[in-house]
Each structure stands twice: as C-alpha cells, then as structure tokens.
Structure 1
Amino acid sequence: MADVLISVGLLVVGFVLLIKGADFFVEGSSSVAKMLKVPSIIIGLTIVAMGTSLPECAVSITASLTNNNALAVSNAVGSNIFNLMVVCGVCALFNPLAVDKGTLKKEFPFSIICAMLLLVLGYIGMVLGRADGIVLLVLFAGFIIWMVRSALRARAEASDEEYEVLPVWKCIVFIIGGIIAIKFGGDFVVNGASTIAAKMGLSQNLIGLTIVACGTSLPELVTSVVAAKKNELDMALGNVIGSNIFNILFVLGIAAAMSPMGFIMENVIDIIILMVLSLVVWGFAWTKQKLDKKEGIAMLIMYAVYLVYICVR
C-alpha cells in the first residue's frame, strides 16, 4: 500500500512539473521569438501548440525508452480522445465554439488521416518500428512547413500584443527550467503510473488511456478554456486539432524512431474509436460551423461512455 501511495505522489508531482514546465517553456520561447520579430501567428501555431503537447511528448518518449511501450502509445491516443471530446466539449459549454472553415477543410481531415496512418503502420506487424517513426516525423516536418506558410499569408492579421516580452536572462531561465521540469516530470509520471499499474493489477494501456492521458492533456484544457472564456473561440478547436496532429506525428514518431513500440489489439481499437469520434465532431462542426452547448454535452457523454468501456473491457 505504501508503494502505491508513493507512486500516486510521484504521479501528482510529475503532472505539476509537466504542466508548469510547459508553461515556462512556452513563455520563454515566445518572448525569444518576439525579440526576433517572428509574427505572433507563427508563434501560436508552432511554439504554443507544441508547448501544450510537451507533457505527452515527455511521457511517451520516457515510456518508450524504458520499454513501457503500451503506456507510450495509449498516452498519445488517449490524450487525443480527451482533447477532442473533453477539451472541446467543456469549451462549448462556456460559449458556442466557432470553427474556422479552413480548419474544417484542411487541418481537421488531416488529423483523421494521421490517425488512419498510425492505425495502418501499427497494424502491419503489430509494431511501430523505427522506419514508421521516421515516416511520421517526415510528415510532421511537412505539416510545420504548411503551417508556417499559412501563417505568413495571414501575418497581416496577427496581433503584436499577444505575448509579453521577457528580459533575456528570464527567457533563458524559463526555457532551461521548463525543459528540466518536463524531463523529470515525464520520469515521475511514467514511474508512478507503471508502479500503480503493476501493484493494482491494471494494464499499462488502461492507466495510459485514463490517468496519464488526462493529466498530460491539462495544458490543452487550460489553454482552450481560457480562450473560450475570452471569446477567442476560433482558436480553441484549432489548438486541439494542432495538438492531436503533433501527438501522432511528432510524439509517437520520435518515440518509435528511438525505440520500436509493440502494438496490441486494444491500441488498434482505440485508434479506430479516435477516428470515429473525430468524424462525429467534424460532422457536428460542419453543420453550423460551430459546436454549441448541446453538442458539447453530447461529446462529454460520449467520452464518459468510452471511459466505462475501457474500464470494463
């Protein structure tokens, strides 16, 4: 019992380090980018979108390197399902969530294609190997180039007031401190989650899909809820979709390239569920180009049903 309590403590400390580390890293990096006259829109599409996904990245890479492969895959897939259904669902409860038409036509379908590609690569041989990881990383590089080009076209609309510029010394402290916190936070979460799974007879897959996925998705939840409260509604869904693409292409890409990850049938089923839920939310958003309160409640209920399913299967 003492081991479980210590592991729960490690898990909580790990989540705090991950979330605060991501905050510091984003703030420091954003200020450096502003000093270098990088447009705010590019900062938002790259540094901030990646920064909110750093916890997933730290956990999945650490899990992959320590051969906790089930935790690596389930964390990324579980985070994507949580982002889509809970983050967007909660935001829609505050205000109808406006959806940019360009996001509906480009990024949203691309996120579903990414999930489909992950399913195909993982199902072939039931392993996500180094070559598969490289394929995902090459696609990620292409996606970043696409985002930057889109941002440059829209730079005239970008606001220069979005980020506060910090002193250079503070930027360095924030970036280095953020990286250290993310590194140790990832270690603590993986060690804590693995011990809890072993002691309580739960699978790493279940722990990864629930506790770890929800914990590492807290930055996306906080960022999107704040945006919704400030009526910056067009940002919220775009932030979630961008994070979901990052989780599959970069997080799992780099984890697989460093250490091949075995797939189990539960991973395959969860990716199919992610694709189905993505299509449902895409349909919701397409009808009125927004997600209203009723649809937000429906999304949260669907997530609750999914949680019950993964706990009893």
Structure 2
Amino acid sequence: MSPALSLLVGLPLLLAGGHYLASGAGALALRLRIPQFTVGLTIVAMGTSAPELAVSLLAAMGGSSDIAMGNVVGSNLANLLLILGAVGIMRPLTLTASIRWREIPFMLLSVLVLAALVNDSYLSGTGPDILGRGEGLALLGFFAIYMYYVVTVARSSGMQADEGVPVLSLPVSLIMSVGGLIALIAGGKLTVSGASGVALAMGASEALVGLTIVAIGTSLPELVTSLAAARQGNADLAVGNVVGSNIFNIFWILGVSSCVSPVSFNTQLNADLGVLFVGTMLFFLFTYTGKRHTVDRFEAFLFIAIYAGYVGYLAVRG
C-alpha cells in the first residue's frame, strides 16, 4: 500500500475507532455501574483525543518521535487557531469566567510545562532533549490534577456529564469497544507508516507531516463537536471541547507516550511551541478586547490568518 493510501485509509479508521471505542467503553462502564457523571468526564471526553493518542503512542514506540511530538503540537495549534477561528466566524464566542480564568490559564500552563521539560540543553546546558519516563510521569501528575479540578467544579456546579454516553447491551458494548480498539490500532499504524512514507517521498521532515496532515486529520473530532455546539449556540461547549482537548493532548497523550517509550525532542519544534504559546495568550487577551468576554468574528478571522501564515512558514521551513 502506498504511503498516501495508507494515510487515506488510516485517518478514517482512527476517527471511527476513537468514536466506537469511546461509545462502547462508556456504555460498558455504565453496565459496570460506574456513575454516568464520571464516565462522561473521563471515557467519553478522552474519546475525541483517542486518534492523537494512537498516533503519538505508536509513533513513539516505532522511533518516529517527530511524528509523535509534531502530532500533539500540531493538533493543539489546529484546535486553537483553525477550529476556534472557524467556530468564532460562525458565531462570536462569549466565554464564562471559569473558561477565562481557569481553563485557558491551565492550557497555557501545559505549553510552558512541556517547553520546560523538553529543553534540557537550553535550560541546564545538558542533553539530550528528550521526554523521558520521569517527565512523562510529571505530565500525568498534572493531568490527574486537571481531572480532579474538572470533576470537583462539575460536581459543585451541578453540571450534567452524561450526554453522549449511550445505553447499550453488554454484547454490543463489548463489540464496539474491541472493534473500536482494533480500528484505532490499525488506523494508527497505517497513519504513522503513511506519514513517514509521505515525508520521505516529498523530501519533507516527519515533523512537518506530523504538524500538518496528521495533526489536522486527528483534530477532526474536535472540529465536528465544536461546530455542532456553535450551531446550537453553546459557546461554552465549543470552547471547552477545544481547551480540554489541548490539555489532554499534552498532559495525557505525551505523558502516556513518553512513559511507554521516551520521546526525543527536535529543538526546531520550539518555534511551533512558541506559536502555540502566543496563540494561547492571544485567546486570553481577545476576551478583554472589543466586546468583553467575547471572541468576535474579526478576532476569529485573525486566528485563521495566523494559522494560514503558520502553515506557509512550515512549507518554507520544510
């Protein structure tokens, strides 16, 4: 199978696998009498990040660290600039105090923590620049703190978190869970091998392919969810989906991936982390410019323009 065909087959398998695994596992958890509230905030929430997890984990295990790291950083950039930009153009985003003062700062923290953990040569003068098992455990520690915060806030506010958790029979739940996992693994392997092959055929770096083609492809669940929420006038859900996914991607996905197999860091990706940091800061500042607490259509268009400029920069950088 050609690399391009591997990507074309692998990405849909990833997306379908993530959906069915989350649905089946969520229904199975309910059958085991795990509270719907907990299922909604954990298993189903992680479902939209399952494609990124499969790609980064398999890439790390296969020695393709640039794809593993590029997929996460690129997905976060696509979520923030491309998806929120598209959603904001469709409908201005009015943000709650919780998102402005808790979730967005936590997202910013995730970028800073990642940059600090992978830049040993710059910060301490020693190398190599790598996300090892110790750093992976630190990321998972931050993830546990974030999940504790999410559950605590949701419980105290009376939030319902059982939306999207299907009620299915035990055999159907098992079939969906196992089938989704198989599709996720198969799609991940095809996507990683296809991305590596495309990079080689194009004379491009694996990091470039991970930051663009793979990143945008694995961000499709977030795009669909956020656009649907925006159409229904639910700005909190649209923004919360993106912000939560970005935090999951760094703390959960890179944490798990580096614990299984250390992920080396290409210092060229510092420029991409810089764009992610600036984009996150702009997101926070935009809620205090123009109409307060709102990202308006002009600011959303700026996100799209920044992303377009960033992709152009990647094309030149190669």
Shorter chain as denominator, the TM-score bin is over 0.9
Code of the aligned partner of 1:60: S
Higher mean C-alpha displacement, 157-166 vs 273-282: 157-166
Shift of 1:34: 4.7
Code of the aligned partner of 1:136: L
Deviations for 1:59-95, whole angstroms, at most 9, x for unmatched residues? Answer: 0011100100111111100000000011111111221
Instruction: State the Cα RMSD in Å.
Output: 1.7
**Does residue 130 in structure 1 map to residue 133 in structure 2?**
yes
| 308 and 43 in structure 1: CA distance in 2 versus 1, 3 angstrom threshold | same
**Does residue 87 in structure 1 map to residue 56 in structure 2?**
no
Rounded Cα–Cα distance in structure 1 between residues aligned with 2:16 and 2:135: 32
Corresponding residue pairs, total: 307
**Does residue 143 in structure 1 map to residue 140 in structure 2?**
no
Contact 2:40 2:163 in 1 (8 A): no
Q: How does 1:47-66 map to 2 (within 5 A)?
A: 47-66=43-62
Rounded Cα–Cα distance in structure 2 between residues aligned with 1:163 and 1:133: 30
Shift of 1:142: 1.9
Rounded Cα–Cα distance in structure 1 between residues aligned with 2:220 and 2:297: 21
| 30 and 286 in structure 1: CA distance in 2 versus 1, 3 angstrom threshold | farther
Shift of 1:183: 0.8
Rounded Cα–Cα distance in structure 1 between residues aligned with 2:161 and 2:312: 43
Deviations for 1:215-236, whole angstroms, at most 9, x for unmatched residues? Answer: 0111111111111112222111
Rounded Cα–Cα distance in structure 2 between residues aligned with 1:164 and 1:61: 27
Contact 2:87 2:226 in 1 (8 A): yes
**Does residue 307 in structure 1 map to residue 303 in structure 2?**
no
Contact 2:56 2:254 in 1 (8 A): yes
| 264 and 291 in structure 1: CA distance in 2 versus 1, 3 angstrom threshold | same
Aligned to 2:124: none
| 283 and 45 in structure 1: CA distance in 2 versus 1, 3 angstrom threshold | farther
Runs of 5+ in structure 2 lacking a partner? 121-126
Rounded Cα–Cα distance in structure 1 between residues aligned with 2:100 and 2:84: 14
Code of the aligned partner of 2:114: L
Which one has the bigger helix percentage? 1
Code of the aligned partner of 1:305: G
Rounded Cα–Cα distance in structure 1 between residues aligned with 2:313 and 2:223: 23
Aligned to 1:258: 260
Rounded Cα–Cα distance in structure 2 between residues aligned with 1:68 and 1:293: 38
Aligned to 2:297: 293
TM-score, scaled to structure 1: 0.93
Shift of 1:157: 4.1
Shift of 1:158: 2.0
Code of the aligned partner of 2:135: D
Code of the aligned partner of 2:305: I
Rounded Cα–Cα distance in structure 1 between residues aligned with 2:239 and 2:57: 26
Shift of 1:172: 1.5
Higher mean C-alpha displacement, 21-30 vs 300-309: 21-30
Contact 1:119 1:272 in 2 (8 A): no
Aligned to 1:38: 35
